[in-house]
Amino acid sequence: MSTEVESKNKAILREFIQVVWNEGRLDQASRYFAENVVDYGPEPIVGLDAFTSLIGAFRLAAPDIEWSIDEMVAEGDLVVLRWTARGTHTGSLMGIPPSGKRVVVTGFGMNRMVDGKTVEHWRSYDEHGMLEQIGAVASAKEWAA
């Protein structure tokens, strides 16, 4: 059974996905993430500005990006999301020119929250699959050929 804090934290992250990712209102990120947030992706990103820049880069690459939450689980101060993002690659992404292709990416995120804001975030997503869909890397089938 979810506690009141766990339910509140889940609601905050649902709102973050809608407002910041789906609506692109990056100026609202400070409502959901602490100023000194640490994002543990492949390489740690420290600070709200750096984390917001990362989101902005993906939104520039796919301005029509839309996230959906497939599952969300909370325990104590942790909230775990399994998500799917869909968008069209119409802008440069990691130096890769626009392909115009529609992309579907899945991933996981875990947020540690204090006083209603994320202070630590861990993420993992199918980066290879995303790059494959935009034609930047070979598919497993192409490797086997």
pLDDT for the residue 140? 67
pLDDT for the residue 74? 97
Burial of 142 (0-12, 13-18, 19+ CB in 10 A): exposed
pLDDT for the residue 61? 97
Buried-exposed string 108-131: b where 16+ CB fall within 10 A, e elsewhere? ebbbbbeeebbbbbebebeeebbb
pLDDT for the residue 115? 96
Contact 28, 43 (CB under 8 A): no
pLDDT for the residue 145? 64
Structural domains of the chain ordered from first start = 4-144 (3.10.450.50)
User: What does pLDDT average to in each consecutive run of 10 residues of the chain (145 residues)?
Assistant: 88 98 98 98 94 96 98 97 98 94 98 98 95 87 68
pLDDT for the residue 13? 98
